[in-house]
Amino acid sequence: MTTPDRHDFPPGFAWGCSTSSYQIEGAAREGGKGESIWDRFCQRPGAIRDGSSGATACDHYHRWPEDLDLAQGLGVDAYRFSIAWPRIFPDGVGERPSAEGLAFYSRLVDGMLTRGLQPWATLYHWDLPQALQERGGWLNRDTMAAFADYAHAVAHHLGDRVKHWITHNEPWCTAFLGHHEGVHAPGLRDFRAALQVCHHLLVSHGDAVAAVRAAAPGAQAGITLSLHPIRAASAGPADQAAAQRHDGLRNRWFLDPLHGRGYPADVLAALGDDAPRVEAGDLARIATPCDFLGVNYYFPETIADAPGGEGIATRVVPTPGAPLTAFGWPIVPEGMTELLTRVQRDYRPAAVYLTENGACFDDVPDADGFVQDDARQRFLAAHFAAALRAVRAGVPLKGYFVWSLLDNFEWAEGYTRRFGLTHVDYATQRRRLKASGEWFRHFLRAESPAP
Ligand code: IFM
């Protein structure tokens, strides 16, 4: 497979990199910020692999000019970041948004624009104000209204400069990792609750799209889903049916209602009494037309039947023949092409952006602090080629954001997993572009044929 050149992609194709507030900002209690569910969850013994938290993270709250310089130095067109809701409404709701919180993001956005970076703002990348969690969090329908108010407030203040808005990042993770598996904040283990949360997230997405459009006419709005190609572990009927169920809850549970089809009937049947309570008008709100679909692609899942298992009774088994990242995720670039062409065939979204793709490897800095991460470079090159194949197959793919600009706080894994194009020495906060970052820079400048 030859590595594509930037010029192989259509004119105007947006290249970018992504981050999120809790994973990089730090300054957990500065600038008037309220407590988030992640601030609280990290205090739970055993919740985070290395016992750490995002309290300091990459100290981006103070070092953002240097970080935006790094993004500019890469030569990306766009920078995807997220806004910490508790910086804007420390208690989740309120008469007025925090002037200090808005001023921080206003400076950040101005910093992007002066560096020629198109700002892409995500409204919810998992840091719910703890005050709202005390009132039931995403299980409480009032949180949907609070989210719409928050979305309106930030779009009102930043919408003159931010033209691309993402409502939720990976609602599957919020719902199921946070409320069923209990490995993400708020750490609940209740399948039925997770499904209800998921429904509220989707309704709140539609409401937030409307709020953003009302506050910032002409803005483009969409949602980012973590999607996975699903393969059955065997040709046997039980595994085939399990794969169908798993695809139902992982992918179609989101894609179908967002595209006006309601929840998939086969999944509703599999869920039985666990299915969420849906009120009149909810499905229409979820189906609020979007300007684009954001897709985060990391890996496919191979699925076996798990009779008597929790939830929809499926289990993920190793994907045959696939090498693994340091996180144990199978490396399958062709899965990206398969996923994108499937989304296009089945849903025909107006535009698609890969809002995250990247990989974690065991980076080892040399004596000079430089990381020669050839594996990440190969990973990216292969996935860029897979994206190009999707474009050539007719997918309206308009951009690709690499996860991530910086090594950062990887949720339950703490600082043990590094996804950055830039190495961060957390003791000194020194940043240093990795070999993969240098390769990406060459690719973006189309300076020389990529190896
Ligand atoms: O770090 C996360 C990000 O917050 C959401 N998408 C997946 C990334 C890697 O796990």
In a domain? residue 1 = no
In a domain, 405, yes or no: yes
The helix (H) or strand (E) run that includes residue 46 is none
pLDDT, residue 451, reads: 47
Which atom of ligand 1 is the closest one to the Cα of 18?
3
- Would you state the pLDDT for residue 447? 59
Give CA 43 to chain center in angstroms. Answer: 23
> Probe ligand 1: pick from 356, 360, 406, 417, max atoms within 8 Å of CB?
356
Sign of the dihedral defined by the CA atoms of residues 366, 369, 373, 374, in that order = negative
> What distance in Å separates the CA atoms of residue 53 and residue 50, rounded to the nearest whole number?
9
Q: Which atom of ligand 1 is nearest to the CA of 20?
A: 4
Ligand 1 atom at minimum distance from 327 CA? 10
Query: Ligand 1 centre from 17 Cα, in Å?
Result: 12
Q: Is 170 part of the annotated catalytic residue set? A: yes
Do the Cβ atoms of 33 and 100 come closer than 8 Å?
A: no
The string over 30-46, giving b where at least 16 C-beta atoms fall within 10 Å of a residue's C-beta and e elsewhere, is ebebbbbbbbbbbeeee
- Residue identifier of the C-alpha nearest atom 2 of ligand 1: 410
CATH number at residue 426: 3.20.20.80
Pocket test for ligand 1, best of 17, 174, 376, 419 (most atoms within 8 A of CB): 419
Both tokens assigned to 143: 């949180």
**Distance from C-alpha of 337 to C-alpha of 390, rounded to nearest angstrom:** 5
Kindly tell me the sign of the dihedral angle through the C-alpha atoms of 331, 337, 338, 340: positive
Distances (CA, A) of 338 to 24, 229, 358, 387: 32, 7, 17, 10
Q: Whose CA is nearest to atom 1 of ligand 1?
A: 410
The residues lining ligand 1, judged by C-beta closer than 6 Å to any ligand atom, are 20, 23, 170, 296, 356, 403, 410, 419
Q: Which of 35, 301, 338, 356 is catalytic?
A: 356
Mutate to test the pocket of ligand 1, among 297, 403, 418 (most ligand atoms within 8 A of CB): 403
Position 27 in a domain: yes
Domain that holds residue 41: 6-444
pLDDT tens across 207-242, in order?
999 999 999 999 999 999 999 999 999 999 999 999
Contact 326, 319 (CB under 8 A): no
The 10s digit of each residue's pLDDT in 283-309 is 999 999 999 999 999 999 999 999 999
Q: Which of 379, 410, 413, 421 to mutate to test the pocket of ligand 1 (most atoms within 8 A of CB)?
A: 410
> For residue 111, how far is its CA from the centre of ligand 1 (angstroms)?
24
What ranges make up the beta strands (E) of 170-219? Answer: none
Peptide bond into 186 cis (omega under 30): yes
Q: How many angstroms separate the alpha carbon of residue 32 from the centre of ligand 1?
A: 26
224 CA distance to ligand 1 middle (Å): 12
Report yes or no on 449 lying in a domain. no
> Quick check: is 75 in a domain?
yes
Is this model's pTM higher than 0.85 or not? yes
Instruction: For residue 197, tell me if it sits in a domain.
Output: yes
What pLDDT score does 3 carry?
Answer: 84
CA 432 remoteness from chain centre: 24
The helix or strand, by DSSP H or E, that contains position 305, with its residue range, turns out to be strand 301-305
Domain count, the chain: 1
Protein residue whose Cα sits closest to atom 10 of ligand 1 = 410
The number of residues in the chain equals: 451
In the reported structure, the alpha carbon of residue 281 is separated from the centroid of ligand 1 by a whole-number distance in angstroms of 32
The pLDDT assigned to 1 comes to 57
Active-site hit among 170, 301, 338, 410? 170
Q: Cα angle vertex 423, ends 419, 428, to 5°?
A: 130
Q: Residue 55 Cα, ligand 1 centroid: separation in angstroms?
A: 18
Q: Is residue 172 part of a domain?
A: yes
| Distance (Å, whole) CA 412 – CA 427 | 20
Structural domain includes residue 226? yes
Give me ligand 1 centre to Cα 410, in Å.
7
> Which two tokens mark 346?
């089945």
User: Considering only CA atoms, which of 20, 123, 132, 16 is closest in space to residue 411?
Assistant: 20
Query: Which residues of the chain fall below pLDDT 70?
Result: 1, 447-451
| CA of 23, closest atom in ligand 1 | 4
